[in-house]
Amino acid sequence: MRERRRHGYSNTKRQSCRPSAIRDATTATIAGDTVSIAGVLLAAGGSRRLGSPKQLLTMDGVTLVEHAARQLLDAGCSPVLVVVGAHADEIRDAVAMLSVTCVENVHWERGMGTSIAAAVTALHDVRLAHTSAVLIATCDMPTVTVEHLQSLLAMSQQGTQRVASEYSGPDGAPVRGIPATLPRADWPALAALDGDQGARGLLRDIGTLTVSLPSGQFDLDTPSDVAAWRTTGPPPTP
């Protein structure tokens, strides 16, 4: 079996996600003579603080990774890429029924930046001429809704504008973060990311538009986070 490894990602035929989903989306988009915005779901982390794969936690019988991937599809993203790394086989299996493509980040231990770079490199390699932007999301932010993702897409003006979610930071001050849409002009910078550096540097730019995400600062990093979410939901927004 021939395996491709370049720019830190591996996209192999053994993956259980649909391996042709990127090219399928390209054909459909060009045939309709429209632009599309790709969805990128970051699901490669090792969940060290939680002690078990957060991607495979279930809410109402659905794993978080499947739930988040479905949200990107339902919001209208095409194609949708799921970046895997730690526990890759189990996470592939969890989204095997969906029309998504799994991209393996072989450098996942270096941080989120490598996962973003792997996804953008994969998109660039198949030459998606009509894909104007990416919407980057994670599976550990349970307050994200399909409606919020659709608001980001709508404000991006067919992917030409950079749009971030805005929520309270640790000190209560507003911060910009993911989920966020980033136009194709940002792809070279995204492909060069490394370590735990995400897209926040780009999102701080004065030209970035924002959509409010109440309680967006709440994510599932620790067992106490998970327990709180399952019993009472996220804490109130400061």
Judge whether 107 and 114 are in contact, CB under 8 Å.
Answer: yes
Provide the pLDDT for residue 130: 79
Distance CA 115, CA 40 (A): 9
State the DSSP code for 159. Answer: T
Look up residue 190 and give its amino acid. L
Cβ–Cβ contacts within 10 Å for residue 76, how many?
15
> Mind listing the pLDDT tens digit of every residue in the chain (238 residues)?
333 333 344 443 334 465 444 544 433 333 344 678 999 999 998 766 666 788 888 888 899 999 999 999 999 999 999 999 999 999 999 999 999 999 999 999 999 999 999 999 999 876 666 789 999 999 888 889 999 999 999 999 888 899 999 988 777 788 899 999 999 999 999 999 998 878 888 998 888 999 999 876 666 767 777 777 777 765 554 4
Query: What domains can you pick out in the chain, each with its CATH number?
Result: 5-232 (3.90.550.10)
Query: Mind listing the pLDDT tens digit for each residue in 204-230?
Result: 888 899 999 987 666 676 777 777 777
Amino acid (one-letter) located at 134:
V
Report the DSSP beta bridge partners of residue 59: 62
| DSSP per residue, 129-144 | TTEEEEEEEESS-TT-
